Amino acid sequence: MGIDKRTYSGQAYDDIRRMIVAGELTGGSKLVVKALEARLGLSATPIKSALLALERDGFISYWPQRGFSVLCVSAEDMADIYELREAIEGQAARRLADSADRLGVVGDLIELLDRQSRHAMEDDLLRYGDVDIEFHRLIWTAAGNRRLSGIADNLIGQHRMGTAFTSLVRGRVGLALAEHERIVDAIRIGDGQQAEQLSRDHVRLAAASYLNGSANDGCPHIGR
Condensed to tens digits (0 to 9), the pLDDT of residues 74-87 reads 778 888 888 988 99
Average pLDDT, the chain: 84
Which residues are 70's β-sheet partners?
A: 60
Residue 36 and residue 47 in contact, taking contact as beta carbons nearer than 8 Å: yes
* Domain ranges, ordered by start, for the chain: 5-70, 75-213
List the end-to-end C-alpha distance of the chain, in Å, as a whole number.
Answer: 47
Length of the chain: 224
Spatial CB neighbours of 46, under 8 Å, sequence gap ≥ 6: 5, 8, 9, 11, 12
| pLDDT value, residue 222 | 36
Query: Do the domains 5-70 and 75-213 sit in the same CATH topology, yes or no?
Result: no
User: What are 27-68's pLDDT values in tens digits?
Assistant: 888 999 999 999 999 999 999 999 998 888 778 888 888 899
| Architecture of the CATH domain 5-70 | Orthogonal Bundle (1.10)
Residue 219 in this model has a pLDDT that exceeds 60: no
pTM tops 0.75 = no
Q: Pick the residue with more confidence: 207 or 41?
A: 41
- Topology (CATH level 3) of domain 75-213: Four Helix Bundle (Hemerythrin (Met), subunit A) (1.20.120)
Spatial CA neighbour of 30 closest among 56, 76, 65, 3: 65
Residue 188 and residue 139 in contact, taking contact as beta carbons nearer than 8 Å: no
CA distances from 112 to 107, 148, 154, 182, 188 (A): 9, 21, 21, 14, 15
